[in-house]
Amino acid sequence: MFIRFITTGGTIDKIYFDDLSQFEVGESQVQHILHEGLVGFDYEVVPLLHKDSLDITQEDRQMLHDHIAADDGDRYVVTHGTDSMAETARALADLEDKVIVLTGALSPARFRSTDAVFNVGMAVAAVQVAGPGVYIAMSGQVFEAGHVRKNRAQNRFESA
């Protein structure tokens, strides 16, 4: 089995410097999480974007779409900021014959307490078990693209 991980930024990769700096998107935490998860499959991590979820444009989504469409793989895990993850999932929904799972985190992977490790674990299982399609793995659940939204008030993903 081979999984291609595409990272686009978001809270999962946030890093903090000091009082004069802001909290910025740092290098991908996916590699670290897979190492800690003691995974036995082959994979590659492709850092495609490095943006907050709210800064991702339609051009970015098109680039991600075209990148996957042109790629020779079958299974993709895309890490993404949470605020526009559902929108990006919809933009990929016409990619048939591939399994694509988007995930991310509500608190940064570098935190002592974070949902990032759990979420990437979910995405890795979903991308190998689910049939072709686009999914979001967040809040302990695997949702289909187009049937999920982030409830900002509750700070969780839910069916829609």
Residue 153 in contact with a copy of itself, rule: CB under 8 A: no
Does 70 contact a copy of itself by CB under 8 A? no
Closest approach of a copy of itself to the CB of residue 63, in Å: 20
Q: Site for a copy of itself (CB under 8 A): how many residues? A: 56
| Smallest gap from residue 70 Cβ to a copy of itself (A) | 26
Q: Give the distance between the most distant pair of CA atoms in the chain.
A: 47
The HSE-up count of residue 29 (CA atoms within 13 Å, CB side) is 28
Under 8 Å between Cβ of 80 and 5 = no
3-state secondary structure of 60: helix
Own/partner contacts of 145-149, CB < 8 Å, gap of 24 or more, are 145/86, 145/89, 145/90, 145/92, 145/93, 146/89, 146/90, 146/93, 148/86, 148/89, 149/86
Nearest approach in angstroms of CB 90 to a copy of itself is 18
Restricting to residues 74-133, name those near a copy of itself by CB under 8 A.
81-83, 106-108, 110-115, 117-126, 128-130
Q: Is 69 a residue that touches a copy of itself (CB under 8 A)?
A: no
**53 near a copy of itself, judged by CB under 8 A:** yes
Question: Which residue of 4, 8, 13, 14 would you call a contact of a copy of itself, by CB under 8 A?
Answer: 14
Query: Rule CB under 8 A: is residue 34 a binding residue for a copy of itself?
Result: yes
